[in-house]
Homo-oligomer: A and B are copies of this chain.
């Protein structure tokens, strides 16, 4: 007797069958949930530097990309740079945006909620009095970040808010940025 072939369940482009397979695998072997992400950065002079992104540890193994992804950074002219790339605090907003979006999309998929379109805007406030040592009562970092999500999905208005909370409630970058992360820094001679 022929058995029916089971097709993978795809929601929002996410292979939900694989997602549940991963969850089941982690229940059996908890260690495969541990990941280590890495980058290597090189100064290019003045306001410019570049990160190579390739190796990471996850699912119980060392993994790498065939070619490293290269991420650039610079500063605009008013911050004494050449404006050849987004600056570090703009990269931080991208990290937050991309993580909130992917977290929402994956968790909506796991619940069978179809999303058609997602756009989001991010704005963060900085005051250079901290960075420039002019007033140490002013923090160096963002004083606050405002996020606006626009979503096209066949859900009720109340569910729109719940959808976005699937992002904020699961996103690694949102948690890292809102609750803080311990960062240890070592220095040695090159």
Contacts and interface: CB of A to CB of B under 8 A. Distances in A.
A94 B91 contact: yes
Contacts of A168: 185
B178 A142 contact: no
Copies per complex? 2
B171 A140 contact: yes
- Judged by DSSP, the binding face of A is mixed
A105 B185 contact: no
A148 B188 contact: yes
A65 to B, nearest CB: 6
A3 to B, nearest CB: 26
The 7 closest A-B pairs by CB, nearest first: A13-B46, A141-B175, A73-B98, A88-B99, A141-B176, A41-B97, A43-B118
